[in-house]
Structure 1
């Protein structure tokens, strides 16, 4: 039986033959030694991944790149913090190491021997760079489908349907929605709300939509309240907490006496606001675990073929919605 060293040398010769490069260049790339151009390094690593080859130093532990938007998530709010925490714990349980990348250093990703990529990014440039990586399984979390990339996402449309159905059953027909206009999840939730209104023979004009990109939360809420909704859906974890404060302490609007509220669940927070918040809970732990399960399966099968997975929401009932 050939020794590990003999097997590795054979693989290096195979890679040299395949790429047309010298064995010494292949060795320097795989062992991260010497000065090698980015183009050459990417060429060697792509060939190595396609052949299922790993240098001996990396055999014992697989490495996953975690890509996030530094600018968008500068404050690292509840959603990102929870997802990243779950991911790191899951990765540690499988003895997998993590390298973190943002839009600032994403160019370096192609020069590293990475087994797979998990991405929490909206940045078009970052996504384009990920799409250019060859023979690496890449999974986007809570992002729309992109050519060549796998996705694991919450069923945002189903979430909108759940909230609308719950509010309608409590007598609410004039419903406000507050979120981010450019957020894919917000668009899906609005679609779910509108379809549920139609199913219940309520006109879509009863849905009052506001966005926070164009004005502060205070201004957006004040404008929405002038249109007399009886309930509001706050479509963001951090947005929910800020809006509850503004309603209670700035606009002097009593919840749920003056307006019923459904927010997005913030673990360990939503149950402690006043009043305890009825909320739509994204399955954050499931998002993380299913993402990693899919990634490990693709790594094991040496496959980067795109796959899509959708996970359902849960509605957590507390005290911020009343029957009217």
Structure 2
């Protein structure tokens, strides 16, 4: 469930609440607020009445959005140094460039406040669309854009905030397949190094957010099907340093795991390096599986077994969703799901 925002101790009224009260779509409310598309007088009055009844305060960045298209699309990513995101942006540019559009890349450092500020800054620049990627569960960051009638695509989420299109990977299926691969290699004590935990201890229950939560769910499903109740989930930053820290936690246990699934290749490479630095053999002492199949996965030694994600194709799909919504603002949000493939290398 998306996090609720509070102002002066009261729950913030959102555009979805106004739409429900007025009996219209979120798109219609955003058109009435922004003035970018014609709305009948009767509908405008219903929207205005709902706004007054709910004491709704439209976002100022959304209200100020006027003028001609700028042929730019903002792409907000959590960490531009992760090779996953340049590939994603390249896929978007494949589709945007032939139509005269350019992608504007912004790195949020995975901070919710930063994401919100970037969205509002991009609206001030009058971008024509916004794509947001990252491991988080607060879709209200995109509210100002929805209010402004600007198309939004969210990467990595199956249950979006109303009015937002999504491009996602079948992370549950991928997590299950990665774990089943390790089970087929004879491993029974299998751990998962996941993304940040909302709260709770480092080795904990299902408190992940975004894609890591689904990948962990697939991991748990595979263990359950195999009759294995002993699970180990470590939370930390989605980075090489986070992978190394997670591996240190796991190796400090009385009974370290025989194999580890990592939430992405960056994390897996960090975990692998930590294991090798301790004199362990990969995969002899501990086997590793990553996600994404970035270029570095094939370059490290031993080469990393990973779940290949169609990164560039996902970027292309996201850009096409943006262009479709620009051409037809009343088109309902779309959800696009991509599968994954196991690429077996030397780490398993």
What residue number does 1:7 align with?
A: none
2:308 aligned with 1:281, yes or no?
A: yes
> Hey, what's the Cα distance between the residues in 2 that align with 1:167 and 1:297?
41
Alignment CA distance shift 1:64-1:228 (3 Å): same
TM-score by length of 2: 0.68
Find 2:63's aligned residue among 42, 46, 55: 42
Classify 1:126/1:318 alpha carbon distance in 2 versus 1 (closer, same or farther; 3 Å): same
- Residues 43 and 170 from structure 1, CA distance in 2 versus in 1: closer, same or farther, beyond 3 angstroms? same
User: Separation in 1 of the partners of 2:143 and 2:256?
Assistant: 43
Stretch of structure 1 that moved more, 98-107 or 232-241:
98-107
**Residue pair 1:283, 1:314 contacting (<8 A) in 2 also:** no
Q: Residues 19, 303 of structure 1: CA spacing in aligned structure 2 closer, same or farther, 3 A cutoff?
A: closer
TM-score when normalising by structure 1: 0.72
Q: 1:133 to 1:259 in 2, by over 3 A?
A: same
Structure 1 residue aligned with 2:229, among 190, 204, 207?
204
SS of corresponding position for 2:295: coil
Distance in 2 of aligned mates of 1:189 and 1:273 = 23
Q: Answer yes or no: is 1:140 the counterpart of 2:154.
A: yes
Instruction: Compute the displacement of 1:107 (Å).
Output: 2.1
Given that 2:73 and 2:101 are in contact with CA atoms closer than 8 Å, whether structure 1 keeps it comes out as no
User: Does the residue aligned with 2:215 lie in a helix, a strand or coil?
Assistant: helix
Structure 2 residue aligned with 1:34: none
**Separation (CA, whole Å) in 1 of partners of 2:243 and 2:130:** 34
Q: Select the residue among 158, 162, 170 that pairs with 1:155.
A: 170
For 2:250 and 2:153, the matched residues in 1 are separated by 37
Q: Which residue of 1 aligns with 2:76?
A: 68
Structure 1: runs of 5 or more not aligned: 1-13, 21-37, 49-54
Contact 2:93 2:103 in 1 (8 A): yes
1:320: Cα distance to partner?
A: 1.2
Contact 2:94 2:316 survives alignment (8 Å): no
Contact 1:42 1:111 in 2 (8 A): no
Unaligned runs of 5+ in 2: 1-34, 42-58, 109-113, 198-207
Q: Residue 130 of structure 2 aligns with which residue?
A: 117
1:157-216 deviation per Cα after TM superposition (whole angstroms, max 9, x unaligned): 11101101211222222111002134321111111111122223x2232x2111125995
Structure 1 Cα separation of the partners of residues 314 and 99 of structure 2:
17
1:17, distance to aligned residue in structure 2 (A): 10
Give 1:131's match in structure 2, choosing from 146, 149, 154.
146
Shift of 1:258: 0.6
Match of 2:184 among 169, 175, 181: 169
**Any idea what SS the aligned residue of 2:274 has?**
helix
The alpha carbon displacement at 1:137 in A equals 2.0
Which deviates more, 302-311 or 230-239? 302-311
Question: Helix, strand or coil for the counterpart of 1:271?
Answer: helix
Supply the RMSD in Å over aligned alpha carbons.
3.2
Q: Which residue of 2 aligns with 1:258?
A: 285
In structure 2, C-alpha distance between the alignment counterparts of 1:234 and 1:99, rounded to whole Å = 30
Distance 1:63 1:317 in 2: 41
Structure possessing the higher radius of gyration over alpha carbons: 1
CA deviations on 1:45-70 (whole Å, 9 max, x unpaired) are 3xx8xxxxxx5xx5xxx72422415x
